[in-house]
Amino acid sequence: MSAGQPAGDVAARAAAGFRQEYADEPAGRWAAPGRANLIGEHTDYNDGFVLPFALPRRTVAAADRLDAERWEVWSELSGERISFGGADVDEPGRVTGWGGYVAGVVWALREAGYAVPGARIALASDVPLGSGLSSSAALEAAVLAALVDLGGLDLPADRQPRLAQRAENAYVGAPTGIMDQSAVIRCREGHALFLDCRSEAVEQIPFDLDAAGLAVLVVDSRAPHRHVDGEYAARRKSCERAAELLGVPALRDVDAAGLDARLDRLDDPETRRRVRHVVTEDQRVLDTVELLRAGRVREIGPLLTASHASMRDDFEITVPEIDTAVEAALAAGALGARMTGGGFGGCVLALVEAAAADAVGAAVTSAYAERGFAAPGHFTVLPVGGVTRLG
């Protein structure tokens, strides 16, 4: 796929799905993008800094109001139509699978005291599933925006990420941070979103790849996910324990300048590595932001590559397919490359000269063939805006 694919096809499919399932016209269509994280991995739940941008791949919800406490949801991806009522959403975890993200949003809105309208919804998406590009946050954000508009609910955009995160944490049961929901809701076209995950303050950072003659190549490793949920939860727990041992509210409060002395206070070498990743990663986000603010996009490459090394050696969340993609991209001339997202599979981002994107993609593909890995996917992207109503 090429850069900047419009949402048109997906939106048309969601509307067509709505007509086919409900023999009616939707009242509107709401589109939410997937996201890539430029830098700042596993820092969000440590109250730290992240710098994601939204991708030109979207999930679209075509929807209208239902005058009953009932939610009917059809998904193009599974071809299934599910339906649930008030009792199902009052009990976290009762609706499972992809429907759990929809029910979770209804649950979280009701928990926050909103009178959520019943709805009929049809979903279509071209955000790759299970690739670490936040297909679940896109689904939550599209449904949330639809329900907020259909019900005329007073829930401003800057408060929506917390609510969507609550759906994922408490209804679906995944202990994720605030980054993905913030990215898919608050990102702006042509910018990366510098988010302070403690205060939720944001700054839109210009990320103009075109002007610099650069591109971001996304390589989908297609590596089978290995124990992602358990490993993610384990990393989170170990960070929380380390913060406790160091006597700080969160690892964000450990100063990068005095890091070695702080690490000496921890007996366990694994915990020391985890802390070092988070603290140095926060600093790399701040350094990347400084360079982008100064328009020095090309110079962020080494920070991206250092972030990858830290995820590989200290946080230990990469897998051979991912490391191979990073090494092959760098050997083929990428300015920097790193895994993006939670880890144990998923995607790699490579910052490349726009003219070299195809060659770098081809080099990764042949490195995979040499190692006997299944062929990866690759495509270039430009940063787009967050969730929006299409009409």
135 is in an annotated binding site: yes
Which of positions 180-199 make contact with ligand GAF (CB under 6 A)? 180
User: Which one of the spans 53-61, 62-70, 173-181, 212-220 is the region binding ligand GAF (CB under 6 A)?
Assistant: 173-181
168 is in an annotated binding site: yes
133 is in an annotated binding site: yes
353 is in an annotated binding site: no
Give residues with Cβ within 8 angstroms of 39, minimum separation 6. 50, 51, 281, 284, 285, 288, 300, 303, 304, 307, 338
Instruction: Clarify whether 180 is annotated catalytic.
Output: yes
From the list 176, 288, 307, 380, which residue makes contact with ligand GAF (rule: CB under 6 A)? 176
CB of 221 vs ligand GAF, minimal distance in Å: 15
Cβ pair 18, 122 in contact under 8 A: yes
CB of 17 vs ligand GAF, minimal distance in Å: 27
From the list 34, 92, 99, 177, which residue makes contact with ligand GAF (rule: CB under 6 A)? 177
From the list 105, 179, 297, 356, which residue makes contact with ligand GAF (rule: CB under 6 A)? 179
| 340-369 residues labelled b (16+ CB within 10 A) or e (exposed) | bbbbbbbbbbbbbbbebbeebbebbbebbe
The site map against ligand GAF for 14-43 (x = CB under 6 A) is -----------------------x---xx-
CB of 332 vs ligand GAF, minimal distance in Å: 26
199 is in an annotated binding site: no
From the list 7, 22, 39, 44, which residue makes contact with ligand GAF (rule: CB under 6 A)? 44
CB of 175 vs ligand GAF, minimal distance in Å: 9
Which listed residue (47, 64, 180, 220) is catalytic?
A: 180
368 is in an annotated binding site: no
Give residues with Cβ within 8 angstroms of 314, minimum separation 6. 273, 274, 276, 277, 280
Cβ pair 178, 200 in contact under 8 A: yes
Which of positions 343-382 make contact with ligand GAF (CB under 6 A)? none
Q: Is 342 in the site for ligand GAF (CB under 6 A)?
A: yes
CB of 4 vs ligand GAF, minimal distance in Å: 23
User: Which one of the spans 4-12, 72-80, 152-160, 177-185 is the region binding ligand GAF (CB under 6 A)?
Assistant: 177-185
User: Which one of the spans 91-99, 171-179, 201-209, 254-262 is the region binding ligand GAF (CB under 6 A)?
Assistant: 171-179
What is the residue type of 243? A
CB of 177 vs ligand GAF, minimal distance in Å: 3
Q: Is 140 in the site for ligand GAF (CB under 6 A)?
A: no
CB of 373 vs ligand GAF, minimal distance in Å: 23
Which of positions 212-241 make contact with ligand GAF (CB under 6 A)? none
Q: Report the distance separating Cα 217 and Cα 378, nearest Å.
A: 7
- Number of shown-chain residues binding ligand GAF (CB under 6 A): 11
180: its two tokens: 């993905």
Q: Is 98 in the site for ligand GAF (CB under 6 A)?
A: no
Binding region for substrate: 41-44, 232
Chain residues in the site for ligand GAF (CB under 6 A) = 37, 41-42, 44-45, 176-177, 179-180, 341-342
Binding region for ATP: 75, 130-136
Residues annotated catalytic, as ranges: 180
Binding region for Mg(2+): 136, 168
